[in-house]
Amino acid sequence: MAKPSKLVPPLLIVAIRIPMNSSVSILCNPHASGWDRCRDDLERSASERGHDLVKLDPDDHWLDQIRNNSPQRLCIFGGDGTLSKVVQKLDHEKMLDRFELGLIPGGTGNDFARSIGMHGLPWRDAYATATEQPATPIDLIDIRNGSAHLIINAATAGFGGLVSGEVSSADKQRWGSMAYWITAVTHLTSLPKYSLELTFQDDTQAKFEVFGLAVASGRYVGGGFPVAPEATVNDGLLDVTVVPVMPVSELLAAGVDTTFGWYHESGRIATFTARWVRVESTPPLPYSLDGETEQSDGVEFSVRPAAMRVACHSEAVGVQSPGAFQTATQP
């Protein structure tokens, strides 16, 4: 039974340096916001350690290169969207279980990177952690709504799906982790309301009138807003956060409650954990699936436990220990 709980631009392949039989390949998104700033450091670090450095491309030639070189680990330089695209492609090619993965944050939001402890690290620490830290089994989210999707971090819907791409850099600097929520509140007068029905794996149902919801494996969306403050990326569970219809003052307060972890006491936000949930809505909800927008009136979400192996920082707040993971996923 569900327990109250606690959504890339086209990319060009260039092999900058290709030492044969390297155990690590660095896959780079040259369109990531940090590429110009970090390119020299990437090339220097890869050269010093004998790592392959490959640019991602829209024709997926990078897949041929990693097939030929057979590295043990793929480290992605870019944001959450880049990582999500690489994971989706590897899964489609039945190659996801062949590699360990690392993430060197180079995007703007870096929300998944925050959960695994990679956001904000000094450059050398980020590179060393991504390439050398032991890999941890991490969950993924399978989504079905007429077509199949695979995401790494979170699906946001309703106002979350509408504003995910609208949080400006200036707002992030001004409001910090609350920027996402405040951007949503500024849309309040035009926000549609949705009649929502959630059905969990044991046929338990819950109905709400909502502004939005999130189904997450990671903790953060919108550049650091903790939409699922207690989520861990390897507990074998989805964290479902429901934002009911409420006045603007209450919605602002709900954002503060969530940011500071007070939402259990306030009761403004409804949260659940589950391995599977179906979301049905009237009218259809706009979704952001790891940043990719879509609209649907009926979506099924299921967790895919331990679906990929990722290097996580030893002090990551959104990662359980391997022992805790095994306990959580045992029937």
Domains and CATH numbers, the chain: 8-139 (3.40.50.10330), 143-307 (2.60.200.40)
Task: Quote the DSSP letter at residue 120.
Answer: T
Check if the beta carbon of residue 249 is closer than 8 Å to that of residue 197.
Answer: no
Q: Tell the residue number behind the tokens 């890339």, with chain if given.
A: 8
pLDDT given at position 95: 96
Q: What percent of the chain has pLDDT over 70?
A: 77
Is residue 323 predicted with pLDDT exceeding 50?
no
Is residue 30 predicted with pLDDT exceeding 80?
yes
Does an H or E element contain 154, and which?
Answer: strand 154-158
Q: Tell the residue number behind the tokens 């050269």, with chain if given.
A: 47
Is residue 149 predicted with pLDDT exceeding 80?
yes
**Where in the sequence numbering do the catalytic residues fall?**
292
- 193-207, 246-260, 266-280: which has the minimum mean pLDDT? 246-260
Which one, of 217, 276, 218, 207, lies nearest residue 242 by Cα? 207
**Degrees to nearest 5, angle at CA 78 with 69 and 152:** 90
pLDDT-based confidence at residue 246 (cuts at 50, 70, 90): confident
pLDDT given at position 2: 56
pLDDT digits (tens, 9 = 90+) for 271-318: 999 999 999 999 999 898 887 888 888 999 999 999 999 999 999 999
